[in-house]
Amino acid sequence: MLKELESFGFDKDTFVMYTSDNGPPFPGGRTNFYEAGIKEPMIIFSPENGVRRNEVTASMTSLLDIFPTVLDVFKISTNTTKLTGKSLLPLLVQEPPRNDNDAIFGSQTFHEVTMSYPMRMIRTRRLKLIHNINYNSYFPVDQDLYTSPTFQEILDSILNKTYLPWARDLKSYYQRDEWQLFDTKIDPMEKTNLVQKPKYKKIFEDLKERLMNWQKATHDPWRCAPHGVLQEQGIFKKDPKCFTLGHEVLF
């Protein structure tokens, strides 16, 4: 791409951002918040002088950072607009100090129209918290994934009770806890949910609060689900509130 730009004389005034919209379409990949679903390539080229070249950053970044970056390139002010992403231009000049509390957020509601399974996520450098809002339902499988040889082999091994070396099993893939907390350093395959571990209680509550605050900041219509209903009309228009559905009494 850069060679093509150079051949047409556009390499001196073209800012390039290369990335992907999601992880690969494999089980645990696309439509999931597991690592294979959220890790994406991102390559940035700036024609400006004095920027970093051929280096890798350890900064926590996400697709939410693209829009603020483009605005920054064109020097468009965002003083009157609330953006949850950040400009990546400073990264091109200097690597920022490492902060273990840095986090990215994720939002997934559905992939195909028949695949409603809203999820929200916060991911720090080491920890990841996933909220499976529709956890009482089976996790959906999209059509092209279902017909892939990979998924068919997994399905065949379950139906015929044969061994298949897979990091998960189909039951836990379909049926997920409402909250999933993973330590990606000691559990890179994300097999052990730490939500119920006393050692991680405070971590869980802290990450949960940060995720909820992000949902409020982005006016997420699912921020009260699944155990509450959001009221944002009438007297609650300026101060939306969540009201319980009484699930804690029924179950």
Contacts by 87-92 with C-beta closer than 8 Å and gap 24+? 88/44, 88/59, 88/61, 89/46, 91/44, 91/52, 91/57, 91/59, 91/61, 92/44, 92/46, 92/48, 92/51, 92/52
| pLDDT tens figures, 208-233 | 999 999 999 999 999 999 999 999 99
Neighbours of 106 (CB within 10 A): 19
Q: How high is the pLDDT of residue 178?
A: 98
Q: Would you place residue 80 in the very low, low, confident or very high pLDDT band (cuts 50, 70, 90)?
A: low
Q: Which two tokens stand for residue 56?
A: 């890798």
d(CA 107, CA 31): 10
Q: How far lies 216's CA from each of 1, 39, 158, 195, 213, in Å?
A: 40, 25, 41, 23, 5
- In angstroms and rounded to an integer, the radius of gyration of the C-alpha atoms of the chain is 21
The C-alpha angle 162, 163, 169, rounded to 5 degrees, equals: 105
Q: How high is the pLDDT of residue 163?
A: 86
Q: How high is the pLDDT of residue 251?
A: 64
Helix (H) or strand (E) holding 72: helix 66-73
- If DSSP codes are grouped into helix, strand and coil, which group holds residue 23? coil
Per-residue pLDDT for 244 more than 90? yes
Q: How high is the pLDDT of residue 164?
A: 84
d(CA 96, CA 98): 6
Spell out a b/e string for 152-188, using b for 16 or more CB atoms within 10 Å of the CB, else e. Answer: eebeebeeeeeeeebeeebeebeebeebbbbbbeeee
Query: Rounded to a whole number, what is the largest CA-CA distance in the chain?
Result: 68
| pLDDT tens figures, 138-170 | 999 998 899 999 999 999 998 998 988 888 888
